Amino acid sequence: MCGIAATIRLRDSRLFGKLFDPLAHRGPDERGVVESQRVQMGMHRLAIVGAPGMTLPLRNQSGRLVLAFNGEIYNHAALRQALSDYPFQTQSDSEILFPLLARAGWAGLRRLRGMYAFVLADLESGDFIAARDPYGIKPLYYAQIEDGFALASELKSFAQLPCQPQFLPPGHLLTRHGVQRWYHWPTRSRSTQVTPLRPLLEQAVLSHLPPPDQPCGVFLSGGVDSSVVAAIAARHRPDLTAYSVVLPGSPDESPAAEMAAFLGVKHQVLRVDTATIQAALPAVVAALESYHPVMVRNAVPLYLLAQMAAKECKVVLGGDGSDELFAGYDYLARLSRRCWSMSMDYGFSNLHRTELQRVDRMTMAHGLELRVPFLDQSVAEWAINAPITDKIRLREGKWVNKWALRAAVSDLLPPSIQWRQKLPLVEGSGFAKLELAKTGHTPGKTRSKWPLENAEADAFFPLWQAAFPNATPDHEIWQDAGRYHRFKGNHGKALLELFRH
């Protein structure tokens, strides 16, 4: 896991430092920079695959191509074997991109399984390709400045630059000729899935585990999603540590303890108080890159949880993405059935700028890599392709979500966990009832131009503005910091607009 930045064909060489320096938290183990007349590129590295001490960023055999990579390629060993005639110089999972893209072009991206964002550039010509994984697990932003480009892992890198950044959408790539889509969702089938879900889940979790010499953790709330990941992981890693965060007496406290005891794994519980939460708020909002109340409230417990886990390990697994894939949200029962699939597609396409943005920023703020097995491509495509009736069904007169998932893992969970109702982390941890912001003041003239939807957003806004003092409300990427499901520059329309008619 890394923080990456690059400038390509920019005249002002000073801009690179402004991009690169704010990303040090993403890779605390080592850093490196490569510079030529046309390219400046750097990596802050969190060392997981491959020992520290590699030349960063990576270079190919000739030294002409340079690669800055953020994420993990889970099938790199199989790809190395298939490309065994290439003279690999390191054990890095990302080095396989050199021969893969050289031989297959950007179509080679379809052979990757993992979470990633990267920039690969030719130091002499300045030609480059930047790409992002299919579902946007790892972030990448870019801006065109005159005839050149600036790219970085987080939006905060652009806070001091004279440009208008935007995100590279999931499943897209960028070259000097513009943005292209390289990944397309599978066409949804009307028939019941033939391939069983369970083996796909097992393989996904197994592939996401860190090397045996690395400690492994899992974020455990006691809900179905995190419990499934923990149960499968514990079979392969009995040294697994489960991490939970709660306010004493909150809904997750007892189920999380029950599940950890059921699995027989070590369980670390962070019990927090309001003083700790209030003290963390400025750092949370700055790291999150958003002041929207939904984002902030869900980010606070995750930030504190990641802070605790990072003291013991570099890699944790989580259950994120399952709700969007398996119809996990209770609001579906209040919508017309004809809207269910459309609603789920909208939520899933927004993951990269809602839940996945929160997950990435809160964990990487502490140099912690969170892996999400439910967003393994095989699992995600199975779920995307599954009929809605496999995801939500009536049971004892009530709609039960995640039906296919619950059925596939019935032998892994206690019945009380298998049929437990969905609770977001902010509710299960007890944070939802807290008054996190000091509200009650009226927005000023300048602040009234921003999307401050309520008093709580208005209260979080100064914390965000302190981190982004030069941001202006005349560009959508900055406006998006105060929105959740209404960004115009995305794949869909507002959720309410979809169901208005």
Q: What is the pLDDT of residues 87-96, one digit of tens each?
A: 999 999 999 9
**pLDDT (0 to 100) of residue 262:** 97
For the segment 293-314, the average pLDDT, to the nearest whole number, is 95
Q: Which CATH architecture has domain 2-181?
A: 4-Layer Sandwich (3.60)
For the segment 294-303, the average pLDDT, to the nearest whole number, is 94
What is the 3 state secondary structure string of 435-463? Answer: CCCCCCCCCCCCHHHCCCCCHHHHHHHHH
The number of angstroms, rounded, from the C-alpha of 77 to the middle of its chain's C-alpha atoms is 23
CA 78, CA 154: separation in Å to the nearest integer? 31
Q: 230-234, 293-297, 342-346, 382-386: which has the minimum mean pLDDT?
A: 342-346
* Residue 42 confidence (pLDDT) above 90: yes
CB 349 within 8 A of CB 253: no
CA 221, CA 363: separation in Å to the nearest integer? 16
CA 27, CA 47: separation in Å to the nearest integer? 8
**pLDDT (0 to 100) of residue 191:** 59
Residue 364 neighbours by CB under 8 Å, 6+ apart = 1, 3, 25, 26
For the segment 31-53, the average pLDDT, to the nearest whole number, is 89
For the segment 458-485, the average pLDDT, to the nearest whole number, is 88
Q: What are phi and psi of 341, to 5 degrees?
A: -65, -40
Q: How confident is the model at residue 500 (pLDDT cuts 50, 70, 90)?
A: very low
Residues of the chain with CATH 3.60.20.10: 2-181
Q: Taking the chain, what is the end-to-end CA distance rounded to the nearest angstrom?
A: 44
The token pair at 324 is 């969007």
DSSP state of 339: G
Q: How confident is the model at residue 501 (pLDDT cuts 50, 70, 90)?
A: very low
* Residue 238 confidence (pLDDT) above 80: yes
* Residue 199 confidence (pLDDT) above 70: yes
Mean pLDDT of the chain: 90
Cα separation values, 329 from 267, 333, 389, 424, Å: 27, 8, 15, 9
Within 13 A of 359's CA, how many CA atoms are on the CB side?
Answer: 22
With pLDDT > 70 as the criterion, what percentage of the chain qualifies? 93
* Residue 445 confidence (pLDDT) above 80: no
CA 167, CA 178: separation in Å to the nearest integer? 13
Q: How confident is the model at residue 482 (pLDDT cuts 50, 70, 90)?
A: confident
Ramachandran bin of 238, using left for φ above 0, alpha for ψ from -120 to 50, beta for the remaining angles: alpha
**pLDDT (0 to 100) of residue 493:** 44
Catalytic residue, from 2, 163, 216, 339: name it: 2
The token pair at 269 is 């519980």
* Residue 497 confidence (pLDDT) above 80: no
Q: What are phi and psi of 276, to 5 degrees?
A: -65, -40
pTM above 0.85, yes or no: yes
419-424 — which CB contacts under 8 Å span 24+ positions? 420/222, 420/223, 420/224, 420/255, 421/330, 422/223, 422/224, 422/323, 422/328, 422/329, 422/330, 423/221, 423/223, 423/251, 423/252, 424/298
With pLDDT > 90 as the criterion, what percentage of the chain qualifies? 69
Q: 53-67, 443-457, 472-486: which has the minimum mean pLDDT?
A: 443-457
* Fold held by 197-433: Rossmann fold (3.40.50)
Q: What is the pLDDT of residues 103-122, one digit of tens each?
A: 999 999 999 999 999 999 99
Q: 66-80, 169-183, 251-265, 428-442: which has the minimum mean pLDDT?
A: 428-442
* Residue 488 confidence (pLDDT) above 60: no
* Residue 268 confidence (pLDDT) above 70: yes
For the segment 43-68, the average pLDDT, to the nearest whole number, is 88
Residues of the chain with CATH 3.40.50.620: 197-433
149 or 490, which is more confident: 149
AA identity, residue 205: V
* Residue 52 confidence (pLDDT) above 90: no
* Residue 135 confidence (pLDDT) above 80: yes
- Is 2 labeled as catalytic in the residue annotation? yes
Residue 275 neighbours by CB under 8 Å, 6+ apart = none
Q: How confident is the model at residue 487 (pLDDT cuts 50, 70, 90)?
A: low
Beta strands 315-317 and 398-400, pairing class: unpaired
CB 353 within 8 A of CB 490: yes
**pLDDT (0 to 100) of residue 495:** 45
For the segment 196-211, the average pLDDT, to the nearest whole number, is 97
CB 23 within 8 A of CB 44: yes
For the segment 358-379, the average pLDDT, to the nearest whole number, is 97
CB 351 within 8 A of CB 167: no
Q: What is the pLDDT of residues 141-151, one digit of tens each?
A: 999 998 999 99
Cα separation values, 243 from 47, 218, 386, 429, Å: 22, 6, 31, 12
